[in-house]
Amino acid sequence: MRLLIILIIYIICAFGSKALLAQSGLSILVKAKVYNSKNEPVQGALVQSQERDSILSYTDDQGAFSLNVLPGENLKVAALGYKAKFLPASNSLSIIRLTASDLDTIFVKTPFQRISKADVFGDVSVVDEQALLTKNYTTGSLDGLEAFVPGYNGNSIWGMGTYLMLVDGVPRDANNVMPSEIDQISVLKGVGAIALYGSKGAKGVINITTKRGQPFDNKIAVRANMGAFVPVAYPKYLGSAEYMTLYNEARNNDSLPALYDQQEIYHYASAENPYRYPNVDYYSDNYLKRVYNRYDATAEISGGNDKARYYTNMGFYTEGSLLDFGMAKQNRNNRFSLRGNVDIKINRFIKGRIDATASFYDGRGINADYWGQQLL
């Protein structure tokens, strides 16, 4: 019984002291605004007590925040694209200015950790996929990467052959990830790739890092797109009769006898019997559509707190085909994908993460090279 009383008194003293400080007026109310070097308010900046991770706030669209802290505590102010700032808490604070981060403060995903780009040995290129999606519509995870990564040509890095493809550090095909799931794409070349990934990275490494949830930033985002694919032009070929006539003329120029007689050429030209004397144009409207479309939709749910964070992505796309004859009219590709990333902070030294993804693909098409056969 005495032990229980002592334990209750200890809990009251340990956890009640901070409440007494706040009630007695010893807490500090910090109210300030966060600006960048251009005197523009920084929205969504994190303001957090360094001594107590649970004490935090985010700036609004005017860059303003308010936070109750204890005397002697220090504040950390951080925002995406800016250098973090550390300063003592004071009720006299009114304006906090953040400076933009340079390329050296960009973090790159490497085996088992994220490190500064400046600390990666060798050449490394980093692409912010989310910034690209606000400016451009892409359908593949590596679309347009050639414009941002020197030496990458779509099939290899510096022409060295097949590179090592990773998704969150695990070997995966790039087609398993949709652009809306990607946070960052890092490309390592040269000795830096070999030092980190061994002989498998000798021909270069492309590492796709997917999004993760942010603490106290609960979000639901929905994105839908519709695209139309229109061929610019199709090749124009001679008809059967024209081809036979010109072929005979070419042989005559070489003093060779004609291969096709005039009666046969007449039958092809008259189209009296298209089954015996066909005149087929596989690029005509009888076989190909003038346009086909693609639809996709994505829903993202993310959030959490200082102990656990989550990110969920659900996506669907459907795409048609140019072929417009027979059973090929029903050609269509459908894909449904689901991704879930969870981060857990067990204590100051131990952190855990759980990543899961699933894709369901349904494709219907011809088992032949339609376009290649037209060149024969």
- Token pair listed for 70: 């204890």
Which H/E stretch holds residue 11?
Answer: helix 2-23
pLDDT at residue 261, rounded to an integer:
92
Could you tell me the CATH number of the domain that includes residue 166? 2.170.130.10
Residue 334 located in a structural domain: yes
Residue 12 belongs to some domain of the structure: no
Is 40 among the domain residues?
yes
- Residue-by-residue DSSP string for 234-283: ------HHHHHHHHHHHHHHTT---SS-HHHHHHHHHTS-TTTS----TT
Q: Is 4 within a domain?
A: no
Q: What's the rounded Cα separation, in Å, for the pair 135 and 129?
A: 10
Asked whether residue 6 is assigned to any structural domain, the reply reads: no
Q: Is residue 1 a part of any domain in this protein?
A: no
CATH number of the domain enclosing 48: 2.60.40.1120
What is the CB neighbour count within 10 angstroms for residue 63? 21
Check whether residue 176 and residue 118 sit in a common domain: yes
Q: Does a structural domain hold residue 35? A: yes
Task: State the DSSP code for 44.
Answer: T
Say yes or no: 226 and 307 in one domain. yes
| Structural tokens at position 263 | 């009666």
Q: Identify the pLDDT of residue 256.
A: 94
The reply to whether 184 and 133 lie within a common domain is: yes
pLDDT in tens, 315-339: 999 999 988 888 888 889 999 999 9
348 and 249 fall within a common domain: no
What local confidence, expressed as pLDDT, does residue 118 receive?
Answer: 66
182 shares a domain with 168: yes
347 and 227 together in one domain? yes
Per-residue pLDDT, 12: 41
| 75 domain residue, yes or no | yes
> Are residues 226 and 330 part of one domain?
yes
248 and 306 belong to one structural domain? no
Same domain? For 317 and 198 the reply is no
pLDDT averaged per 10 residues in sequence order, the chain, 376 residues: 44 41 64 90 89 86 92 87 85 89 62 67 78 80 85 82 88 88 87 80 89 82 90 88 94 94 92 89 87 93 89 94 86 92 90 91 78 63
Say if residue 70 is in the same domain as residue 171.
Answer: no
Boundaries of domain holding 89 = 26-97
pLDDT tens profile 339-357 = 999 999 888 888 899 999 9
Are 227 and 255 in a shared domain? Answer: no
Judgement on whether residues 203 and 159 belong to the same structural domain of the protein: yes
Q: What's the domain count of the chain?
A: 4
Q: What share of the chain is helix, strand, coil (3-state, %, to 5)?
A: 25, 35, 40
In the prediction, which pLDDT does 106 show? 67
